[in-house]
A and B are shown apart, each in its own frame.
Chain A
Amino acid sequence: MSAIYFLIPLTLLLLVLAVVVFFWAIRDGQFDDLESPGFRVLLDEEERGRDDSGGPQETDDDDR
């Protein structure tokens, strides 16, 4: 039981760290646009600057 006297303050320390990281993320603008990243994953098949010359350039699902 005495373990919690040590563990809980430890988690608090981690929490403070988490809050600091969140604050940095907010300042860095990570939370400014919450919608675009979702669809970006779906649509970008050829990324600029990627070494993708061998991959297929066209999708094959034309029958949607």
Chain B
Amino acid sequence: MSTPCYHCGERCPQDLDLQVELLGRPRPMCCPGCALAAGLIADAGLMDFYRFRTELAPRVEQHLDWSSFDHPQIRDRMSALGTDGERQLHMNVGGLRCGACAWLIERRLSELEGVVSVQVDLGTGDTWVRMDPDRPVSEVMAAVAELGYSPRPAEQGAAGRALASERRDALRRIMVAGIAMMQVMSYAVGMYLGAFQDMGPTEARFFRLISLVVTTPVVFFSAVPFFRGALRGLRNRQPGMDLPVSLAVGIAYAASCINTFRGAGEVYFDSVVMFVFLLSAARYLELAARRRAQSWVGDGREAPTLARRLHADVATMVPAENLRAGDRIRLLAGDTVPADARIVEGELACDESLINGESEPLERTPGQDVFAGARCVSGPAELEVLRSGDDTLIAGLQRQVSQAQAQRPPLSRLADRIAGRFVVGVLIAAVASAVYHAGSGDALGTALAVLVVTCPCALSLAVPTALAAASGRLSAMGLMPVRAGAVERLAGVDTLALDKTGSLTRGRPALIRTVLLGDLDRREALALAAALEHGSQHPIARAFETYADGRKAEALRELPGSGLSGRVGRRRLQLGRPAEGGLPADADPGLTWIQLEDQDGPLALFGLDDPLREGCRGSLEALRAGGLALAILSGDRPQTVARIAEQLDITAAQGGMRPEDKRRWVQDRQSEGRRVAMLGDGINDGPVLATADLAIAMGRGAALARASADLVLPGDSLRPLARGRALATKTLSVMRQNLVWALAYNAVALPLAMSGALAPWMAAIGMSLSSLVVVVNAARLSAGEARDAVPARSVRDDGPRMAAG
């Protein structure tokens, strides 16, 4: 029974005893990163963060180097010098969970020297910092990262600006429609009352005129997007919901204008404005939910890299994009490979997990190639650049992703399919009723009544309201819909293919077992190993960092075969692979074993493995119970994959797969008629994700995977997926209910209107009621089961208060 970290909520390792005094009591911490962040918060007097937060903080990851952002070329893309001589830095921060996080960042950054003002937009994570132009930008970003958040450059380019202006445009239209609606509704009430109280013709005329004047900007400004959408649909021969909407608005408005100048007949200005306002608002909400997720996800590019270019043995730091084929570069341990290159001198071990899913670093010798995006675990080496910038393997993958996405068939919505036929039906009905009443009554008036009453108010609201409610709820659950159609696709899939490294496992080795061979106790053995591994870039080092007690080894040397040697105190230590037969009989052969020994003999054996994510088994069970067939497609070694598959009880599992193999597997299933969802986190998964019917990316994975996904799991757990799927299915059924209701309403109202028995006030009330029913039904999706703000990351009751519900 392990305790949760007070800062981030993750489980603390059993033998770790790290505590920080917060709010008057010592609190457990899960790792030095969280402890450091908590300590920073306490020392800076920002304890209010723990008092007021409504969500747990993100887990603090270390090992990131922000100095590349100080390079002028890169820095100037993120910031500009203002007229007052200050630098205005614009970045995007990920991991903001609630208001207190944004407050924390603002306060912490304000305390940095040279920072004048900070502003954080909680909704999108966009952060603006005004600072002294001589202070390094990297300092600001490192301060944010220390607290556990992820700072990223916010592209100041066209894309960001376009999105912002689109949003403002939508707001303007909604505002005009809303203000006009309030006015016209009140005039309409006056007219209805006047009809009962014998209003004179002059007054009636006045009201109609004034309603016309106020409605006009709504039709010619606020409703324009609908007209554009309808025209586009007609041109592509795929009429969507915009068509009946535009027809209803246009015809009702035109007819009402005619009647105003005729002086007789009914006017429907109030219905027109109400309709435009409600629909614009519903679509805006749906768009806003997606936009927020999109800004979180970013544009698919990793942080810019710097390269050490050699020129007659002098190394200069240049941005990776400046490299040309034939340049000589030097790579040291910890660097990210800036371009596809061939080793000329020295040896390099590279962690290519983000590129091909292989979780073990591979040793490379002169003559072999390394690829841009890999991380160097050991060095140094001199290389010659083969391909840079757009020609690298990664860039190729990015292009494949965009291509695949462009070719993806658009989601055909039930509502859009109905829309075309609906229009035809209504027009026929209107003409028929006009013909029928041609001799005996008010033909034009009846035809208009038909058109107005069958106004697709409820029909067009059916889908966007449900999606807006569902998107908000999904985000709260820990699943972010990023692309349009994500929710419908989630409900429609029947197969889930998972990558292993990064999705099912953390992608980092962790200590599983310790076997003591000498006279040391466990804590001391681990601390010694940590002292040796301190500063090493090898993934194995991460497994030991939580056990460090501050000591560092001296005379540290790397041995061939990933070994280390050094001196701590009086012990001359060595950490490396155990000799043949050095493992005890009951040692699990599936673990990676390394042995710690000193000059007197072996001290301890450590068994490492890349463990399953927490709650993995439970989440997969829930998914299977929800009707999903599970499979593992991984680029990792088949033996490792087989072991995991066995633990999780999954029969369809394959290792050693390359991206093309994965893509073929997905396509084979699709041709069998199945709908496949793919979960991945590496760059190599980008093209496969675009092929699948639904692409899910892990938040901590490669930026490219995130940007090509439909859904993103920002947390570390797969738990939200099962509940998200249940919600998506429910959303689809709510959409269907809404559509059925809308059509039923029209079916009832239509005969009434055709027979001429429908008064305009009945039509108006009918439209409002039907829309109300649709909206309330959709709102059921946001209410739902209350207690799932942060699933199963329980915090003690004297800790932060969870958001109500």
What is the interface of chain A, defined by CB distance below 8 A to chain B?
1, 4-5, 8-9, 11-12, 15, 18-19, 22-23, 26-27, 31-36, 38-40, 42-45, 48, 59, 61-62, 64
Contact = CB atoms under 8 A, between A and B. Distances in A.
B342 to A, nearest CB: 48
Interface of B: 23-24, 48, 51-52, 98-100, 102-103, 110, 119-123, 164, 168, 171-172, 175-176, 179, 183, 187, 203, 206, 210, 213-214, 798, 801
Given A9-B210, A23-B172, A40-B103, 7 more contacts: A8-B187, A12-B210, A18-B179, A19-B176, A33-B121, A39-B100, A59-B48
A34 to B, nearest CB: 7
16 contacts: A12-B183, A12-B210, A12-B213, A15-B179, A15-B183, A26-B168, A26-B172, A26-B175, A31-B168, A36-B119, A36-B120, A36-B121, A39-B100, A48-B110, A62-B23, A64-B798
B635 to A, nearest CB: 40
Nearest to A39: B99
A44 B233 CA distance: 51
B122 A27 contact: no
A34 B292 CA distance: 12
State the majority secondary structure of interface residues on B.
helix
B24 A62 contact: yes
B99 A36 contact: yes
Given A19-B175, A19-B176, A64-B51, A32 B164 contact: yes
B210 A43 contact: no
Contacts of A42: 52, 99
A19 B122 CA distance: 27
Contacts, number: 77
B210 A8 contact: yes
Contact of A35 (B24, B99, B213): B99
Complex A-B, nearest 3 residue pairs according to Cβ-Cβ distance, in ascending order: A39-B99, A33-B121, A35-B122
A60 to B, nearest CB: 12
Contacts of A19: 175-176, 179
Contacts of A43: 48, 52, 99-100, 103
A30 B100 CA distance: 21
A9 B23 CA distance: 60
B720 to A, nearest CB: 22
A59 B99 CA distance: 19
Contacts of A39: 52, 98-100, 102-103, 122
Contacts of A38: 99
Nearest to A43: B103
Contacts of B100: 39, 43
Given A5-B206, A43-B48, A64-B51, A36 B102 contact: yes
Nearest to B103: A43
A6 B24 CA distance: 67
A19 B179 CA distance: 8
Contacts of A40: 99, 103
A50 to B, nearest CB: 14
B206 A4 contact: yes
A12 B206 CA distance: 14
Contacts of A33: 121-123
A18 B214 CA distance: 14
Nearest to B121: A33
Contacts of B168: 26-27, 31
Nearest to A22: B175
A42 B203 CA distance: 52
Contacts of B183: 11-12, 15
Contacts of A1: 203
Q: Which of B24, B110, B168 has the most CB of A within 10 A?
A: B168
Contacts of B179: 15, 18-19, 22
B413 to A, nearest CB: 29
A52 B171 CA distance: 39
Nearest to A64: B51
B269 to A, nearest CB: 14
Contacts of B99: 35-36, 38-40, 42-43
Contacts of B119: 36
Contacts of B801: 64
Given A19-B179, A62-B24, A34 B123 contact: yes
Given A19-B175, A32-B121, A12 B214 contact: yes
A23 B801 CA distance: 39
A23 B798 CA distance: 46
Contacts of A18: 179
A42 B462 CA distance: 38
Contacts of B48: 43, 45, 59
A47 to B, nearest CB: 11
A11 B186 CA distance: 12
A42 B801 CA distance: 15
Contacts of B210: 8-9, 12
Nearest to B178: A22
Q: Which of A1, A19, A26, A43 has the most CB of B within 10 A?
A: A43
A39 B210 CA distance: 42
Contacts of B23: 62, 64
B526 to A, nearest CB: 36
Contacts of B164: 32
Nearest to A9: B210
B43 to A, nearest CB: 15
A39 B103 CA distance: 8
Nearest to B200: A1
A62 to B, nearest CB: 6
A22 B217 CA distance: 15
A4 B191 CA distance: 13
B171 A31 contact: yes
A19 B203 CA distance: 27
Contacts of A62: 23-24
A38 B183 CA distance: 30
A5 to B, nearest CB: 7
A61 B801 CA distance: 14
Contacts of A4: 203, 206
Contacts of A34: 123
A36 B798 CA distance: 25
A3 B551 CA distance: 88
Contact of B123 (A26, A35, A64): A35
A45 B107 CA distance: 12
B764 to A, nearest CB: 21
